[in-house]
Structure 1
Amino acid sequence: MVTSRATNKRPTNDQQTTTKQEAISITNIKEENHIAIGKPNCQHTEVINLYHELLPASPRIKDWTPARAATLKARWNESADRQNLEYWKALFEYIAGIPFLTGRVAGNGRKPFVCSLDWLLKAENFAKVREGRYEDQHERA
């Protein structure tokens, strides 16, 4: 016969105890996982395909390195509005309409500039493009 009764015994060495600190750590990990799970995964292949399709004059991606993947993921995760393919399609369509970024304008006797994905994904350049800094570059050249 098995009975259950409360005891005042302390746990032995082979029994686990959960301290308040451990409980907090577990809660924090669960919260962090919940936040990470809530974000859509960066769709690298689809973004690259959109880049190739909408910016055919731009350099093609042949090797997708971990550094490139990390940079795209960083831009993807900076804002919830960037975490979908519609955003990236609209961005590449916007860039396609800018003569300076697509090599349709020569700059002061130099070879025309063509925006590469690596160049675009650098935080500083990404911000400049989003701010419209290159829209009137063809007028200055």
Structure 2
Amino acid sequence: MQIATVFSRFWRDRLNWELSDSEVALFFAILAEINRTRGENNNLLESKISIGTPKLELLAGMSRAEVYRARNRLKQYGLIDFVSGKGKKKYATYFLGDEFKKVSHIDIESETVNKVSQYETENATVSETVSVTLPETVSETRYKNIEYREENKENKREYIVPQQVEGPPQTPYQKIIELYHTYCPSLPKVRVLNETRKKYIRARWKEHPDLKFWENYFKSVEESDFLTGRANYGNRNPFIADLEWLMRPNNFAKVIEGKYKNRTETKKEEDFYITFPEGFKT
């Protein structure tokens, strides 16, 4: 088999295999060594080499782990095959893979044909051609592979369906205000919904995104003599809560904990806590 045929086939179809830079570099390193061995042994049918991993690392400019990964991928695509070495100085043997064994003839670009013909006429090998073009080939492949993969990424993005991220429902400001007006008739009406009030309502809604919770919350507020101004403090003006006060974090916690619940004469411990209707969540 002509090395030029292998070279041309590989260079033509490399993007179809989606090879990495390391895999391209390793393939050309193995191909160049096969071609060099053919020239030294004067055997143009030779299509295998025995070579140690350290030498492949130097030829391809890769680490040992990268060599192992790259050769496995090349074997997977049928570009090379190999038999691992066993013991000291018993190197692995590399062959051209099935993808090239079944190739009988491939058209070669005119420039490549001229170079190959020149060297074959002089009974020389094409190792010089390979060694000269190898750095160029790896560099060109790097950028073409990047372009190819980026194009594929763009195509794949068209089919990606964004995942819906679940979270609390959108804050129903108006509905919460309506519940406040309905169940807290003793408290001041909300005339202005400014950003400060929105901030407090939004924060409490994230903690309790359930309108039933707010219905029960406002019912408990209306039952409190202290929060509605019904408590008698003599000459002092009674305190009356409003929606913003009820939504502030510290005040909200105190209401939930029953601090403002009406106390009986016996002052039992359980009377200091709000007793919410069944289904009420805290």
Q: What TM-score do you get using the length of structure 1 for normalisation?
A: 0.71
Q: State the 1:118 CA deviation.
A: 0.9
Q: 1:100, 1:138 within 8 Å by CA — same for their partners in 2?
A: no
* Match in the other structure for 2:257: 131
Partner of 1:38, secondary structure, is coil
* Match in the other structure for 1:25: none
Q: 2:186, 2:222 within 8 Å by CA — same for their partners in 1?
A: no
Q: State the 1:76 CA deviation.
A: 1.3
Corresponding pairs, count: 119
Out of 3, 7, 10, the position equivalent to 2:142 is 10
Higher helix proportion (structure 1 or 2): 2
Out of 199, 224, 245, the position equivalent to 1:70 is 199
Residues 13-24 of structure 1: pairs in structure 2 closer than 5 A: none
**RMSD (CA atoms):** 2.9
Partner of 1:106, secondary structure, is coil
Q: Quickly say closer, same or farther: Cα 1:117–1:11, change in 2 above 3 A.
A: farther
Q: State the 1:62 CA deviation.
A: 1.1
Over residues 22-61 of structure 1, what are the superposed CA-to-partner deviations in whole Å (9 max), with x where a residue is unaligned?
Answer: xxxxxxxx89x72xx3322221100000101111121111
Q: Given the alignment of the two structures, is residue 92 of structure 1 paired with residue 224 of structure 2, yes or no?
A: no
Identity %: 31
1:47 alignment partner AA: I
By relative contact order (CA 8 Å, sep 6+), the higher-ranking structure is 1
Distance 1:64 1:138 in 2: 37
Q: 2:187, 2:241 within 8 Å by CA — same for their partners in 1?
A: yes
Distance 1:138 1:49 in 2: 31
Q: Given the alignment of the two structures, is residue 53 of structure 1 paired with residue 182 of structure 2, yes or no?
A: yes
Unaligned 5+ runs, structure 1? 18-29
Partner of 2:225, secondary structure, is coil
Out of 156, 159, 167, the position equivalent to 1:38 is 167
Distance 1:53 1:135 in 2: 20
Partner of 2:16, secondary structure, is coil
Distance 1:76 1:6 in 2: 51
Higher strand proportion (structure 1 or 2): 2
Over residues 10-31 of structure 1, what are the superposed CA-to-partner deviations in whole Å (9 max), with x where a residue is unaligned?
Answer: 247x9596xxxxxxxxxxxx89
Find runs of 4+ consecutive structure 1 residues off by over 3 angstroms: 14-17, 136-139
Residues 99-114 of structure 1: pairs in structure 2 closer than 5 A: 99-114=225-240
Q: 2:185, 2:222 within 8 Å by CA — same for their partners in 1?
A: no
Q: What TM-score do you get using the length of structure 2 for normalisation?
A: 0.38
1:133 alignment partner AA: K
Distance 1:131 1:47 in 2: 21
* Match in the other structure for 2:133: none
* Match in the other structure for 2:97: none
Out of 119, 126, 141, the position equivalent to 2:245 is 119
Q: 1:54, 1:96 within 8 Å by CA — same for their partners in 2?
A: yes
Distance 2:253 2:236 in 1: 24
Between Structure 1 and Structure 2, whose CA radius of gyration is higher? Answer: 2
